[in-house]
Amino acid sequence: MLTNTLHFCGGLLLLVVGGRLLVSASVDTAKRLNVSPLVVGLTLVAWGTSAPELSLNLISAYRGRGDLALGNVVGANICNIALVLGMCALIKPLVVQERLIKVEIWLNAAILGFMATLGLAFGFNKLTSGLMLGIFGAYSTWTIMAALRQSDAAPSPAAADTLGDDPTRGVEKGPMGWPMIAACFVGGLALLSFGGSLASDGASGIALALGVPAAIVGVTIVSIGTTLPEIVTGVMAVRKGQTDLAMGNAIGSCLFNAGAVFGIVGLIAPPGVDVTLTLPIAYMGILAIALVPISRSFCKTVSRLEGGLLLASYAAFLAVSALTVSRS
């Protein structure tokens, strides 16, 4: 018990430090490239914080455990929407940029809704997995190219520094240099990945030592553990006023999980859909679709009320899952 507690506390500490490094590196990357933090959150940050899901699921797929990968992807997407966005909105209402409303939230609803429909009605095969991977690849290419075109039309930070008589010069500290940004980004991702694994293992050990059934631990702690990087990064971003980075991280992680992670895993080992995954798959699809009206309400913000409702729905989902597992 003591060892597991130390692992859990040490993992949380690494997550906090890694989250701070990643958010700082992401914000300064946006400044250097003259793109919005939202775009960085949708791409670099989302892909980086989803590294635990990618590594875990690739190993599972190569061992022929596509069903385990499916459960992890579904659980991670549920956590990203209900837990990450819910917690962040309770700290500070999340302003939803027009770009998210018009593109990513609709795309997220379409992909996760499509994934849920396939899983519940027909099952998965290599063709559908390849289609999801192709859609994600096309979206990512378009996002990066559009951001780079916009940055070419904007003045660079270096050019801004050369303005001789600018009265605002020196008021705000300039972004870090590229070597320092790269070091913070790599270091932050490493700490998030290792800290998330350490905290998840520690929490699982504590739960099992207290007599909690292993199946319930898998339904709750494992899926939350692989999403700890997104949780910490989102909270850190909101505390620094970067609500668009937090939104981009959560939505971008969902798209990466469903399009890239599950697309690759499905090509290697198409998973079967176990009956115990029926509720999680349906809940994931409902959450993704519910984000469409949520993003347009309360003057296009995710309010504290909506954040509380998302967290309440997640708590109800965990309770029903635990009850279902205990009866099986």
Judged against a pLDDT cut of 70, whether residue 175 lies above it is answered with yes
Higher-pLDDT residue of 173 and 77 is: 77
- Give the per-residue pLDDT at 159: 42
In the chain, what is the straight-line distance between the N-terminal and C-terminal CA atoms, in Å?
28
Closest CA to 255 of 69, 81, 24, 67: 81
- Give the per-residue pLDDT at 40: 80
pLDDT digits (tens, 9 = 90+) for 5-47: 888 788 767 877 877 787 778 778 877 878 777 888 788 778 7
- Give the per-residue pLDDT at 160: 43
Judged against a pLDDT cut of 60, whether residue 219 lies above it is answered with no
Overall average pLDDT of the 36-63 stretch: 74
Q: Which residues pair with 302 in a beta bridge?
A: 94
Overall average pLDDT of the 173-192 stretch: 83
Overall average pLDDT of the 69-77 stretch: 81
pLDDT digits (tens, 9 = 90+) for 98-108: 888 889 999 99
Judged against a pLDDT cut of 90, whether residue 309 lies above it is answered with yes
Identify whether the C-beta of residue 251 lies closer than 8 Å to the C-beta of residue 108: yes
- Give the per-residue pLDDT at 82: 94
Closest CA to 325 of 279, 282, 273: 279
pLDDT digits (tens, 9 = 90+) for 233-278: 888 889 888 888 888 889 998 998 898 888 888 888 777 777 777 8
- Go through the domains of the chain in sequence order and give each one's CATH number: 2-150+177-327 (1.20.1420.30)
Rounded Cα distance between 58 and 39, Å, is 26
- Give the per-residue pLDDT at 311: 95
> Can you read off the two tokens belonging to residue 68?
């385990």
Identify whether the C-beta of residue 102 lies closer than 8 Å to the C-beta of residue 310: no
Rounded Cα distance between 9 and 65, Å, is 30
Find the helix or strand (DSSP H, E) in which 302 lies: strand 301-302
- Give the per-residue pLDDT at 170: 43
Rounded Cα distance between 307 and 81, Å, is 10
- Give the per-residue pLDDT at 87: 94
Q: Where residue 319 falls among pLDDT bands split at 50, 70, 90?
A: confident
In the chain, what percentage of residues exceed pLDDT 90? 21
- Give the per-residue pLDDT at 313: 95
Judged against a pLDDT cut of 80, whether residue 86 lies above it is answered with yes
The phi, psi pair for 39, rounded to 5°, reads: -65, -40
- Give the per-residue pLDDT at 196: 66
- Give the per-residue pLDDT at 38: 81
Residue 221 CA from chain centroid, whole number: 16
Q: Is 21 helix (H, G, I), strand (E, B) or coil?
A: helix
> Can you read off the two tokens belonging to residue 21?
């490094």
Find the helix or strand (DSSP H, E) in which 76 lies: helix 66-78
